Amino acid sequence: MRACRRFGAAIDVNPDDRPGHMLWRLFVRAPRETQSTRQVRALRAIAAPCLRALRRLSRGSGTPNRSDAAATPVADGLFSALYTERRLVHALLLVVGLIAIGFIATTPMEWTQQLWFSGGLFALAVLLRKRSGRAVTLVLISLSLIATARYFWWRVNYSLDLGSPMELVLGWGLFLAECYALAILLLSFIQSAWPLKRRPVALPADSADWPSVDIFIPTYNEPIDVVRPTVLAALNLDWPADKLTIYLLDDGRRDAFRELAEAAGVVYMTRPDNKHAKAGNLNHALAQSQGEFIAIFDCDHVPVRSFLTTTMGWMLADPKCALVQTPHHFFSPDPMERNLGTFRRVPNEGRLFYGLIQDGNDLWNATFFCGSCAVLRRGPLEEVGGIAVETVTEDAHTSLKMHRRGYNSVYINQVLAAGLATESLAAHIGQRIRWARGMTQIFSADNPLLRRGLSWYQRLCYSTSMLHFLHGVPRLIFLTAPLAYLYFGWHVFDAEAIAIAAFAVPHLVQAVIANSHMQGRFRHSYWAEVYESLLAWYIALPTTLALINPRFGRFNVTAKGGQVSRSYFDWRISLPFLVLMALGLVGFLIGIARLVFGPGGEAATILLNLAWTGYNLIILGAAVGVARENRQLRRTHRVDWHDPVHLILPDGRTVSAESRDFSLGGMHLALDEPLALSRGDAVEIILPLGPPNVRFPARVISEGTHLRLAFDQLDLIQQRALVAATFSRPDAWEHWDDPAEVDRPLASLREILVFGIKGYGLLFRPLLSLTRRMRPVRPTATDTH
């Protein structure tokens, strides 16, 4: 009994639990760390006395035949058996669950019965959705799978008997798009339902036992003001100086960068050509360096000084660990956040991936390299031939190769570096096109489902991330499918409208509820449709061609650190949205006319297609709203920051103040009362949490209780000290997501509706201006002579 209690404490099991609860915690709830040394010792503590008792019974003796130590291999075998049993329990539960879902899905029901059944599922989901816990997540996923299975069973058996050849083509095209969406839904449930939430591992107390690390900062055409903070932050890393080498890898071969490297005391490295772009740049440095580990940062990603001390523990704890990845975090708004005004309130497009998906991948040992904010072990990296050069997403391809050779990966879901988001929608879409093309290239050329060396869960996680980027064609089908009926009367469903709604709506609603419960902190409901609609037209062709020929496409560098000098509407980038919007508006008007003047028997079908088209128009309106670029003149983005500072006035007096925000160009301070300062006055700032005895000279640019200051020209020592006191602080981004709102599906739908309507309003003014410019000018009386 004592041994059982020790084991229970080791895996966080309450010894007073009922046996069923204990089995649940042991075989279902216990995380992967159950395989740790502490759990092994606890299992041995149980196994040894049990084996001794069994041996006494078999021999009829009151004493064991061998020592306790001799029973250890058998205890290890028992642990292996228990772990195998746990996996068998998982498999058994999965099989039983699938059989139950299949039975429920195939039970015949009229649409009225389906409505009652779906209402019961919905009521249960509403009761559970606000409760926390992984058990609730699994139940909501099960409810979603039941509704989805019923819909697709009905869809296959009762809605595909289409008439004319055109209806057959359109109807099966829509069905295949739905099958793609179903595959992504199922795979995303597997990928994200159980995030590991791994914690860092402590390093040895003696820093003499820490390994050597090389820091690679690749750059090509980025401004030096973007790169300098990253270099200075790398110098501030908490790591023995004799075991840290920083490399500035300049593929642009610029004198200013060479001078920066020399002044900062880091290694400046170039190469004779730019072959294979970023991957080639990193591989060239890999061949010229010797560190046991390599940390890679994009040139705009500024690391906190605890980056290595937080990540390297796992490398030392697991000799098979080849990669430790951390989130990509952006302290500037991306185009959607800036143009729609959702910065830090609505999670951005990448938050779901770095907040949940990578954490879910980690459970299955499938975290993949994202090109920056990561540490790699030199041995495995060299074993796979360095950074992959066959595709334009060299990062994910590299980790895939390492996973295939049996190496492990780790994801630490803590923000340990921060960078700049893309400034314009055109740059943002260009970056996503490269990602989509590259991931499709990997799926085509090095398919994880077919290659050896991966577990099935790793295959599924990689495939989910790759297949996600094939959403271009399905999304275009969903945006245009109802127009076939509104324009031409072609049916894409062979079923009554009320039956379609009875089976389709529960499937969609249950998926929204389940995803909202899992993703509510990282992605708000319905925003995925906006993101996908923005990209659909642009990635449809590149991904299709990459499937056919993986060698198609080349690497393009994402521009960072630019400005938007004036507000304008980007007609070029928004043209596909505008075409789809025009088609939808005309179809909507035709539908209303048919509803008013057409045969009465079609009213339900017309209303269904009008509702579908109306939703698409709202999504397209929000997408068009993003195409209205708001002005952004700052070269250095301000970051919210609330901390005490000291201000030295021109007369030498020191007053206390509190910062409101900062940038590398200035600071905003809050004062208790106005000071006798005028614009242009010279002051100095002391940051209590910065290096001692470092003062930052500044000029007043705005007086009052809210004092705005611009830094004077800072030397390199002062710039490094400023970075150390701000961007490099270990807690710099700890509470960044606190203002973000947790998803509420109805509130999110209302917000999307507001943004969609605003999009049409934003479009009206530039359309009016364009019409005026295109209007012919009448000749005046003077012009006729």
Q: Annotated active-site positions, please?
A: 251, 395
Q: Can you list the positions of beta strands (E) in 175-228?
A: 213-219
To which H or E segment does residue 568 belong?
strand 568-569
Residues paired with residue 667 on neighbouring β-strands, in sequence order? 662, 709
How far is residue 725's CA from residue 537's CA, in Å, rounded to a whole number?
44
Residue 638, helix vs strand vs coil:
coil
Indicate left, alpha or beta for 302 from its phi (over 0: left) and psi (-120 to 50: alpha): beta
What's the chain's length in residues?
A: 785
Residue 221, helix vs strand vs coil:
coil
How far is residue 218's CA from residue 437's CA, in Å, rounded to a whole number?
22
How far is residue 753's CA from residue 614's CA, in Å, rounded to a whole number?
10
Residues paired with residue 708 on neighbouring β-strands, in sequence order? 668, 702
For the beta carbon of residue 551, count every other beta carbon within 10 angstroms: 12
Of 376, 360, 371, 365, nearest to 315 by C-alpha is 376
Q: CA dist 1 to 58, 145, 709, Å? A: 21, 41, 68
Q: Which tokens go with 763? A: 């479009």
Q: Name the one residue in this structure whose structure tokens are 């709506």.
A: 505
How far is residue 218's CA from residue 216's CA, in Å, rounded to a whole number?
6
**DSSP letter string, 311-373:** HHHHHHH-TTEEEEE----BSS--HHHHHHT-TTTS--TTHHIIIIIHHHHHHTT-----SSS
3-state SS string for 689-749 = CCCCCCCEEEEEEECCCEEEEEECCCCHHHHHHHHHHCCCCCCCCCCCCCCCCCCCHHHHH
Note whether 239 and 220 are within 8 A (CB).
no
Q: What are phi and psi of 215, to 5 degrees?
A: -105, 120
Q: Which tokens go with 549? A: 């020929």
**Which residue type does 278 have?**
K
How far is residue 211's CA from residue 375's CA, in Å, rounded to a whole number?
12
Residue 661, helix vs strand vs coil:
strand
Of 532, 617, 545, nearest to 581 by C-alpha is 617
Q: Name the one residue in this structure whose structure tokens are 């709604």.
A: 501
Residue 409, helix vs strand vs coil:
strand
Q: What share of the chain is helix, strand, coil (3-state, %, to 5)?
A: 55, 10, 35
Q: Name the one residue in this structure whose structure tokens are 């199922």.
A: 186
How far is residue 466's CA from residue 462's CA, in Å, rounded to a whole number?
6
How far is residue 453's CA from residue 497's CA, in Å, rounded to a whole number?
48
